Structure 1
Amino acid sequence: FTYDLPSSSTFTSELHQWFRMWKDKKTKPSTVSQALEQCDGVFFPNIKCVLQMCTTFLVTSSDCECSISALRLLKTYLHSTMGQERLTALALLYIHRSMTNNKTKVLAEFARRKPQKVLLPSILA
């Protein structure tokens, strides 16, 4: 990466200047293309080079593709041992793993729906 920059030794200080320049401005670029249009190549040659590289990267991933690959991983490992309802539930949990769940409520709901699981008293108490 650094060998592609015009002056890689000044990249860090140039990056600090770039952030300082945008810190006080009310309207900031919302895309890489907008940032590239507003980048002065004389004062920020490294930043301009990095922005040009970013605009040429191919976008190869999307939320839909992530969901499909997540489902494929689950199916590969667990497909033969579970029904469609459980597979769907696990896929949703995996895809939306950033959501927080109250584990106590989930366990209480499971215990309510599956009453054949009996809680035995502790014999050590």
Structure 2
Amino acid sequence: MVGELDQTFCSVDAGLLKGIQACSPKSETFVSEPHLNELAKHYRVDLKTEEVLVARNFLAWKREAGCPPKDMSESRRLSTDNMFPSLTPAIQVVLTMPVDSCSCERSFSALRRLHSWLRQTMGQKRLHSLAVMSIEKDTLQHLSHNRVIDQFATLKNRRHSLMLPPTK
């Protein structure tokens, strides 16, 4: 059950999300080359290192002049195709992504509940699985618990080798 939910809802990795964040002028990692490279690799954009460096210097100059970009669409307008031909498609990809803040807010509140001080030693994989189950609880409610238990019961007995022989 967790494996199915994991396949369905967890295809995006952290590197891609950091790349998206690097396109936001409000982010501390704005126009960060390592983060943008993850985004470019995922969307097959040929990002030039020199261009990212020039863009970062240009945006720093705009910030010092008192007119930094306020949002992603303004940074897209500043980075014209002629000025930054490989950076512009990366920003354009991010701007065309649909945004759903409700699922993001649900994710953070679920993690806040799950990762308490009592569960600090929990492994990343288990925490991830519990978070997916908590976030997608509407999907889980439609599953038949008896069917899941029956499927689990038909699996190989994993404790067979650990069981002690019966005492007389």
Which TM-score band (shorter chain)?
A: 0.3 to 0.5
**Which is greater in Rg?**
1
